[in-house]
Structure 1
Amino acid sequence: MAQRHRVVIVGGGFGGINAAKALAKANVDVTIVDRTNHHLFQPLLYQVAAGILPEGLIAPAIRSVVGDQRNCQVALAEVQDIDVENRVVIAREPDTGELRLPYDTLVLAAGATHSYFGNEEKFAQYAPGMKTIEDARYLRDGILAKYEMAELETDPAEKKRWLTFAIIGAGPTGVELAGQIAELAHVVLPRDYRHIDTTSTRILLLEGAPAVLPPFDEKLQKWTHDKLTKMGVEIRTNTLAVDMDRSSITVKGPDGSEEIIPCRTRIWAAGVQGSPLARVLAGKLGIDVDRAGRIPVGPDCSVNGRSDIYAVGDIMTLDKLPGVAQVAMQQGKYVGKLVTGRLAGQPAPPPFKYFDKGSMATIGYKAAVAESFGMKMTGVIGFLAWGFIHIMYLVGWGNRFGALYSWLRAMVFSKNRGHRIITFDGAENVAHRGVGGPISKQRLGDNVPVPDAPTELSGMRVSTPDDAS
């Protein structure tokens, strides 16, 4: 019996999931391999960091997302190499065993990671970014722990340092985080503390460009700037972070002068770069990645003109497409349909064309900006549009109702945040390391030797009861 066409998808994000679903009716065996077991809805990740949403509502298990798709299986492993000559993806299992995934078609949808623009060694340990659930949890610990430390502090100068937050980057993520910290400081926390005035929190939003939300319309930029300023956020545009340590950040202003600002919390929201797998694959194919570490693809999302390797989402670069979820979703569907049609003997589809449905960002309760189909919305209208779109893109009606309930509870009825659990150990960690570097910086099993005997995974089963024992 002839073996069915094998499709390996690296990454269970927007691009990978949509590629898998587009292959649901194809005569193929699909394997999604990811280093997490969940499909993360990143646009709402900042709400986990702010204590509004529990992580489970925005991170359903990948197995449940594709559970009804009989030709799809899931493997929890970390991809380390790609053998393009023999068409094998080489990954590491959680127990450090090697997992080999033969493929006939490879879809690389591994997303992106933080970019510190060449300052990784200096900035990464003091200014965590937010790309994973672990990052969001860590930021939540870091933000809340600073108020606990300020409550115990007796030195006024040090108390002020604990209550100063610097966010580097005023794109959607930076704006949303600044707005949420402002709401925590002015709405949620004032009644909880006895020895600090949480409304005295200093929130710095630093942006190297001339305005916040650089990709947005000028009218929306101004509205956002004015709204954040009214919420107590100190916005500095044309300003760069040039140095930082455990208790301060050094910034360079528009006039070229440098200023050292005492602060215990820095959050990085300034840039991203493609997954390291882009460089791995590019090296195997003898091509170059761009400045952001993304691999170039052709009009059909193929890599280096090959019909067996495709890249979608934040890991690829094509026609200056933005690094947003909609690009990954549409490219995933496109590649899935392309492979399905090719195996069915159908003509090749036209080149991929991105349909821009618009952009949006929320600043706080009843305050958001959105531009879609020529319409520009702000305030309550923008907030309702933002809420509707994000609810509809969550996976599963249970998660949608759960998110809606959490929003109503947190922002309308209780004016509280229901997910503010931290521990002494967590507070101690962030207190000793500033906010510290993201937990995910040191991956599980780094430099752990890989056993000689590999595991083959090419059918519909990942393991057997004997394997598990």
Structure 2
Amino acid sequence: GPTGVEMAGQIRELATSTLRNEFRTFDPSTARVVLIDGAPQVLPPFGPELGAATQRALEKLGVEVKLNAIVTDLTKEGVTIKLTDGTQEFIPSSCKVWAAGVKGSELGKVLADQTGAELDRAGRVVVEENLTLPGHPEVFVIGDMAFVPGVPGVAQGAIQGARYAADLINSRIQHTAAPQPFAYKDKGSMATIAKFKAVALIGKVRLTGFLAWVAWLFLHLLYIAGFKQRVTTLLSWALTFLSNGRSQLVVTNQQMVGRLALEKLGTNVSGRLIEGDDVAPRE
């Protein structure tokens, strides 16, 4: 999904550019980023064309993409996956990022116990067509905690659901006609892969690369409240993208003195701050 794709691309980019520029002994080739997906392609909702383009972009960055792979075991040492042919593979890893979907809040179970509402297999509350609890029109459930057929667990659904609930509450207060049953309007989907790389599906329009990335930036700026905040955010993004600077290093006088002392002693530590430390900030 978009979360896993974006995370894999950003981590790979972080290792390739940011860490390489900040740490003198870091070798980007030693960083292995593996994206595991049980589907036959990445980003299935985007269609095969954008899915293939996304996979090519990820692999060009250096991300290993393993499709039709199901995670069967997760330990401190790594991840075990099972492929469609029945074979298993163990991937050594000390850092795992789980991005396999959204689970309903525990509050959903509380609501179900108290009201008799039904839960889906993800723990989300099955609601009426006006986003209220069955038998409790005064209780609204929206966002990730609500199950509404055809509504994905993304921000669009939560925002539209919140606006609908507000309109319905207002109609009750004003004693006016209630709005029609909630209908989700898909405004499109976007996913960023790395700097200047993204994919977007807006209706029947498919965008890839730099154009999709610009569209993603523009859309997110629109949702920021206030002109001043938008300008500040835009300038901050521009500085980050142009400089590749994403770190906030804190180097103390003691660290600098200690590093210089080790270098002068010729202890073959190559500027390491402490014994056993493989990396050190650049001067």
Short-chain TM bin: 0.7 to 0.9
**Structure label with greater radius of gyration:** 2
Contact (CA 8 Å) 1:206, 1:237: kept in 2 or not? yes
Within-5 A mapping of 1:295-306: 295-306=125-136
Which residue identity is paired with 2:66?
Answer: R
Gaps of 5+ in 2: 252-283
Within-5 A mapping of 1:109-124: none
TM-score, L = length of structure 1: 0.52
Gaps of 5+ in 1: 1-170, 423-469
Shift of 1:421: 6.9
Shift of 1:410: 1.7
Contact (CA 8 Å) 1:242, 1:251: kept in 2 or not? yes
TM-score, L = length of structure 2: 0.84
Which residue number corresponds to residue 215 of structure 1?
45
Secondary structure of the 1:272 match is coil
Q: Which has the higher strand share?
A: 1
Deviations 1:332-375 (A, max 9, x none): 11111111111211122211111110000000111100111321
Identity %: 41
Secondary structure of the 1:346 match is coil
Contact (CA 8 Å) 1:410, 1:418: kept in 2 or not? no
Contact (CA 8 Å) 1:362, 1:386: kept in 2 or not? yes
User: In 2, Cα distance between the equivalents of 1:363 and 1:207?
Assistant: 16
Deviations 1:92-121 (A, max 9, x none): xxxxxxxxxxxxxxxxxxxxxxxxxxxxxx
Which residue identity is paired with 2:170?
Answer: T
Match of 1:415 among 222, 244, 262: 244
User: In 2, Cα distance between the equivalents of 1:381 and 1:290?
Assistant: 38
Q: 2:219 matched to 1:351?
A: no
Shift of 1:377: 0.5
Within-5 A mapping of 1:333-372: 333-372=163-202
Match of 1:232 among 47, 62, 87: 62
Aligned residues: 251
Q: Which runs of 4+ in 1 moved over 6 A?
A: none
Report the RMSD for the aligned CA atoms in angstroms: 1.7
Contact (CA 8 Å) 1:298, 1:305: kept in 2 or not? no
Shift of 1:190: 1.4
**Range moving further from structure 2, 180-189 or 272-281:** 180-189
User: In 1, Cα distance between the equivalents of 2:235 and 2:74?
Assistant: 39
Q: 2:226 matched to 1:387?
A: no
Secondary structure of the 1:283 match is helix
Q: 2:19 matched to 1:189?
A: yes
Contact (CA 8 Å) 2:191, 2:200: kept in 1 or not? yes
Deviations 1:50-78 (A, max 9, x none): xxxxxxxxxxxxxxxxxxxxxxxxxxxxx
Q: Which has the higher helix share?
A: 2
Shift of 1:272: 1.3
Gap change, CA 1:351 and 1:421, over 3 Å in 2: farther
Shift of 1:306: 2.2
Which residue identity is paired with 2:191?
Answer: A
Gap change, CA 1:419 and 1:405, over 3 Å in 2: farther
Shift of 1:401: 2.6
Q: 2:8 matched to 1:201?
A: no
User: In 2, Cα distance between the equivalents of 1:397 and 1:258?
Assistant: 53
